[in-house]
């Protein structure tokens, strides 16, 4: 059997923190893993900004609740689940991602946890520093073939570890730096590539 591992933000849903930037007017929230390679450094900055701007988790959750999956994402997820095993493998956090996961039909997700105390964001706990890579390695150790798609620096290890790894709507500077990884722009292209690569369909 074959597993598809998909990144969440930028692949299936908009970037959550970019929506927080729109809500607060704080431009630094627009920085994502497409610009910052060190994820811990990025999250430390976000936690600091949240506290400096006085944001509560209720505020952030209101932003997330208004978000919708990218156009065609729900249909694509449904198609993947009909033809493959599926795991969303994200560097997001359960407390943020879950409302969007529900809008995608509640596929399985493997991500991290936020440290919240009395509606304040105190920090975060990573499931594993190499979470995405370890998920792919574990699936391959169980004799699954793994196809993966992502759009950012933090997806590189997952994409290179998978039997088939592709960029999906990744910015040009990332695609140029990792030119050995193919890039696609539409869900229809992803479907076609997964079908061509499958040994079971």
Q: Return the H-helix or E-strand segment holding 109.
A: strand 109-117
Give the pair of three-digit tokens for residue 33. 């893993």
pLDDT band per the 50, 70, 90 thresholds, residue 20: very high
Domain range for 79 is 2-15+67-197
The number of domains in the chain is 1
Is residue 48 one of the residues assigned to a domain?
no
Give the pair of three-digit tokens for residue 105. 């039909």
| Mean pLDDT of the region 156-160 | 97
The half-sphere exposure of 113 on its side-chain side, counting CA atoms within 13 A, is 6
Q: What's the pLDDT score for residue 116?
A: 96
Burial per residue of 170-200, b for 16 or more beta-carbon CB atoms within 10 angstroms, e otherwise: beeebeeebeebebbeebeebeebbeeeeee
Is residue 166 one of the residues assigned to a domain?
yes
pLDDT in tens, 41-72: 999 999 999 999 999 999 999 999 999 999 99
| Mean pLDDT of the region 13-20 | 96
Is residue 101 one of the residues assigned to a domain?
yes
Is residue 47 one of the residues assigned to a domain?
no
Nearest Cα neighbor of 98 from 85, 109, 86 is 109
What is the torsional sign of CA 26, 172, 161, 135?
A: positive
Q: What's the pLDDT score for residue 1?
A: 85
Active site residues: 7, 9
| Mean pLDDT of the region 180-196 | 98
pLDDT above 80: residue 157: yes
Q: What is the overall mean pLDDT for the chain? A: 96
Is residue 20 one of the residues assigned to a domain?
no
What CATH code is carried by the domain that includes residue 81? 3.40.50.1000
pLDDT above 90: residue 22: yes
Is residue 102 one of the residues assigned to a domain?
yes
Is residue 140 one of the residues assigned to a domain?
yes
Q: What's the pLDDT score for residue 144?
A: 97
Class of residue 5 by CB neighbours under 10 A (exposed 0-12, middle 13-18, buried 19+): buried
pLDDT in tens, 68-100: 999 999 999 999 999 999 999 999 999 999 999
pLDDT above 80: residue 201: no
Is residue 78 one of the residues assigned to a domain?
yes
């Amino acid at each position: 059997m074959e597993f598809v591992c998909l990144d969440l933000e930028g692949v299936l849903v908009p970037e959550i923190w970019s929506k927080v930037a729109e809500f607060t007017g704080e431009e630094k929230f627009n920085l994502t893993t497409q610009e910052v390679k060190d994820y811990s450094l990025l999250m430390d900055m976000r936690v600091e900004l949240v506290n400096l701007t006085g944001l509560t988790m209720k505020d952030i959750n209101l932003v997330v609740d208004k978000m919708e999956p990218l156009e065609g994402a729900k249909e694509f997820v449904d198609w993947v689940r009909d033809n493959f095993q599926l795991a969303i493998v994200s560097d997001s956090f359960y407390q943020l991602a879950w409302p969007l996961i529900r809008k995608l039909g509640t596929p399985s997700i493997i991500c991290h946890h936020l440290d919240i105390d009395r509606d304040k964001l105190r920090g975060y706990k990573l499931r594993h520093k190499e979470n995405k890579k370890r998920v792919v390695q574990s699936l391959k150790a169980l004799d699954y073939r793994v196809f993966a798609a992502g759009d950012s620096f933090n997806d590189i290890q997952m994409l290179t570890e998978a039997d088939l790894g592709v960029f999906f709507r990744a910015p040009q500077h990332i695609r140029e730096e990792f030119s050995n990884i193919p890039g696609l722009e539409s869900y229809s292209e992803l479907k076609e590539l997964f079908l061509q690569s499958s040994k079971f369909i």
